[in-house]
Amino acid sequence: DILRKGRDSLKGYVILFLSLALEGADIIVQALSEGAVDFVLKPGWDGMLAEDFSRELVSKIEVLLSKKPVESTDKVFKQANITESKTGTELVNCPGRAKGIVVIASSTGGPQALRKFLGKFEYVSVPVVIAQHMPPLFTKSLSEQLGKTTKLDVMEATSKVELQSNKVYVITGGKHGVVSDGVLEIIDGPPVNGVKPSADLLFTSAAQAYGTQTLGVVLTGMGKDGLEGSRLIKQLGGKVVAESQESAMVWGMPGEVVKNGLADAVDHLEALPYRVEEIIKWWK
């Protein structure tokens, strides 16, 4: 309630201190969707030691406090010679029978960004798969809350599932998701880039399965997860779009993609759905 009522007046960032408990997952995900930027597990939960807690908290605070002025994004935007995408209040409709896929990477600030991004869509002719860095108990709540803010059908993927158009699949936390032959498989394995699920694994598998009809969307987040996956998408003829520094809570993941010259477009979060529409409409 505090975050919802004070969204426009609160200055600075809100980081949540959490116990990994199912009964609080809905409230926590709601807080992340309403403006809390990130969370840290309390010592003793999920093997978190006190020194690890301190290290992770300090690291996240340092990243948030080191955010650069948005002018630096504008320079990258101009250097990349990216045309301005349209914005508006109309819903995005991507009809057709394309055999492609949209894969999304998000981390810090992701729940709020995903809610705004998916809320712009009325229909999309391909499946959408999301790798959001989040513990397992929270991705179920995230998928349920996203389903209330978009006309698309949203589900948490906890096991192997056949991919369908106009459906959004949130990879369950603590596992990886890979796609092949129209199927999303949920697999275990060590963290990649320190995270599970890994956007790099998702993006790489999507590029190998869908080739030129692969669209990677890199939203707000710390680190560089999604960078190598975006590189392969580009190598195999697909497209990659990144959230601009102007709207990203943390321009780590999208920033790495842009700085490495892998972004076909860099757009404000409000414009990204329309950019997706522009790309998908050319798929056959």
Show the tokens assigned to 61.
């605070």
Co-location of 33 and 80 in the same domain: no
CB 125 within 8 A of CB 92: no
DSSP assignment string, 174-211: TSEEEEETTEEEEE----BTTBSS-HHHHHHHHHHHHG
If residue 236 lies in a helix (H) or strand (E), which one and from where to where?
Answer: none
Co-location of 32 and 126 in the same domain: no
pLDDT of residue 49: 58
Give the integer Cα–Cα distance in Å for 273 and 219.
12
The domain boundary residue, chosen from 16, 35, 65: 65
CATH of the domain at 262: 3.40.50.180
CB 194 within 8 A of CB 227: no
Q: Tell me if residue 26 is catalytic.
A: no
pLDDT of residue 80: 39
CB 36 within 8 A of CB 14: yes
Name 162's bridge partners. Answer: 183
For residue 26, what are the domain limits? 2-65
Exactly one of 38, 106, 133, 141 is catalytic; which is it? Answer: 133
The domain boundary residue, chosen from 39, 65, 91: 65
Co-location of 51 and 80 in the same domain: no
Asked if the peptide bond before residue 197 counts as cis, ω within 30 degrees of 0, the response is yes
Answer yes or no: is 111 within a domain.
yes
In the chain, the number of structural domains is: 2
Place of tokens 């060590």: 190
Co-location of 118 and 42 in the same domain: no
Exactly one of 33, 85, 106, 107 is catalytic; which is it? Answer: 107
Co-location of 164 and 191 in the same domain: yes
Give the integer Cα–Cα distance in Å for 265 and 243.
9
Answer yes or no: is 14 within a domain.
yes
Co-location of 61 and 102 in the same domain: no
Answer yes or no: is 203 within a domain.
yes
pLDDT of residue 24: 61
10-residue mean pLDDT series, the chain (284 residues): 52 67 64 70 59 71 64 41 53 85 96 96 97 90 94 98 97 97 96 96 98 98 97 99 96 98 98 96 86
Q: Tell me if residue 225 is catalytic.
A: yes
Beta strand pairing call for 239-243 and 121-124: unpaired
Co-location of 148 and 233 in the same domain: yes
Answer yes or no: is 70 within a domain.
no
Exactly one of 143, 165, 205, 225 is catalytic; which is it? Answer: 225
Nearest C-alpha neighbor of 124 from the set 149, 145, 153: 153
Co-location of 30 and 156 in the same domain: no
Co-location of 139 and 238 in the same domain: yes
Nearest C-alpha neighbor of 232 from the set 253, 271, 206: 206
Name 262's bridge partners. Answer: none
Co-location of 92 and 20 in the same domain: no
Place of tokens 């948490």: 156
Co-location of 89 and 38 in the same domain: no
Answer yes or no: is 229 within a domain.
yes
Q: How many CA atoms lie within 13 A of 283 on its CB side?
A: 26
Q: Tell me if residue 133 is catalytic.
A: yes
Co-location of 53 and 164 in the same domain: no
